[in-house]
């Protein structure tokens, strides 16, 4: 089976072109290819599929095999793949996801996509602003935002000192979130800039999360910590998030996507 390894600011996935390939059990395949010792190594698996309602369809699986409806960094990489490999022949197109159809706009150089802007849709507030919660015996406050998948945004004075490997599972599996949640830990630098670490449900700490950055930008604007346009700095790089709060209500995410390498996978030996 042919595959492509891609990353969006360090959020790395294995991509399968299902216009040409067929995957019988993507959940199990995701667990195997994500293993960084016995597989390829990734935060999960993304399938690029034909669609009856858009230019292509994306299915995203976490490293533990669970399927998520949306992935912000992943969809930028899908956009780069279909543009660079001529599955679409235009700089604006639509991608079907389980969280709805997302519109993408490509910034190209020498015929390759280098930056992609994604219309992430209208955010949904799923908590109080802010809501108290006790995790691992410590009191916090969070703002819940859905971007088609669930997020809980927490504000900290120093995110670098957090031991996410130790505390992350407690946030993900808290009883307040019966379907688990992605957790974003935010340090506000200025009204135009925030820093973020993320614990993703099903994958643990990752270098970036596009939907998480979007949710965090919306939460920060809602509680008056930032304006409606903000740079979000993650372990793997920066994203620009703009919330058209007074207009359409949609949120737009702009960032890079990179094809790292391509190869062939012997799935019988995984």
Q: What would the two tokens of residue 264 be?
A: 């062939």
73 carries a ligand binding annotation: yes
72 carries a ligand binding annotation: yes
200 carries a ligand binding annotation: yes
**Which residue carries 């059990």 as its tokens?**
25
Query: What is residue 123's DSSP assignment?
Result: -
Q: Mind telling me the catalytic residues?
A: 71, 209
149 carries a ligand binding annotation: yes
Of the candidates 246, 199, 106, 138, the residue with the CA atom closest to the CA atom of residue 216: 199
**223-262: b (≥16 Cβ within 10 Å) or e:** eebbebbbbbbbebbbbbbbbebeeeeebbbbbbbbbeee
Alpha carbons 170 and 181: distance in angstroms, whole number: 10
Alpha carbons 195 and 212: distance in angstroms, whole number: 12
Under 8 Å between Cβ of 34 and 270: no
**How many of the other CB atoms lie within 10 Å of CB of 182?**
26
Exposure of 267 by Cβ count < 10 A (0-12 exposed, 13-18 middle, 19+ buried)?
A: middle
238 carries a ligand binding annotation: no
Going by DSSP bridges, is the β-strand pair 2-8/11-17 parallel, antiparallel, or unpaired? antiparallel
- Respond yes or no on whether the N-terminal peptide bond of residue 130 is cis (omega within 30° of 0): yes
Q: What would the two tokens of residue 125 be?
A: 């507030």
Cα-flanking dihedrals φ and ψ of residue 211, to 5°? Answer: -65, -35
Which residue ranges are tagged as binding site? 11, 62, 72-73, 149, 182, 200-201, 210-211
Which residue ranges are tagged as binding site for substrate? 11, 62, 72-73, 149, 182, 200-201, 210-211
């Amino acid at each position: 089976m042919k595959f492509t390894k891609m990353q969006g600011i360090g959020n790395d996935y294995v991509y399968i072109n299902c216009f040409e390939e067929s995957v019988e059990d993507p959940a199990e395949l995701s667990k195997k290819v994500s293993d960084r010792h016995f597989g390829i190594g990734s935060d999960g698996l993304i399938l690029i599929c034909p669609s009856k309602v858009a230019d292509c369809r994306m299915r995203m699986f976490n490293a533990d095999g669970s399927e998520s409806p949306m992935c912000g960094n992943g969809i930028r990489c899908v956009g780069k793949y279909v543009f660079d490999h001529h599955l679409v022949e235009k700089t604006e197109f639509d991608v079907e996801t389980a969280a709805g159809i997302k519109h993408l706009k490509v910034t190209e150089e020498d015929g390759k996509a280098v930056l992609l802007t994604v219309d992430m849709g209208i955010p949904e507030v799923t908590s109080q602003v802010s809501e108290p919660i006790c995790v691992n015996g410590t009191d916090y406050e969070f703002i819940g935002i859905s971007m088609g998948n669930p997020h809980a945004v927490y504000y900290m004075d120093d995110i670098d000192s957090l031991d996410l490997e130790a505390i992350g599972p407690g946030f993900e599996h808290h009883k307040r979130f019966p379907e688990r949640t992605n957790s974003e830990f935010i340090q506000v630098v200025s009204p135009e800039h925030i820093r973020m670490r993320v614990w993703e449900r099903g994958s643990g700490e990752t270098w970036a999360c596009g939907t998480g950055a979007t949710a965090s930008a919306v939460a920060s604007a809602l509680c008056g910590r930032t304006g409606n346009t903000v740079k979000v700095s993650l372990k793997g790089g920066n994203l620009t998030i703009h919330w058209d709060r007074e207009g359409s209500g949609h949120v737009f995410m702009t960032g890079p996507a990179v094809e790292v390498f391509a190869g062939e996978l012997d799935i019988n030996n995984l």
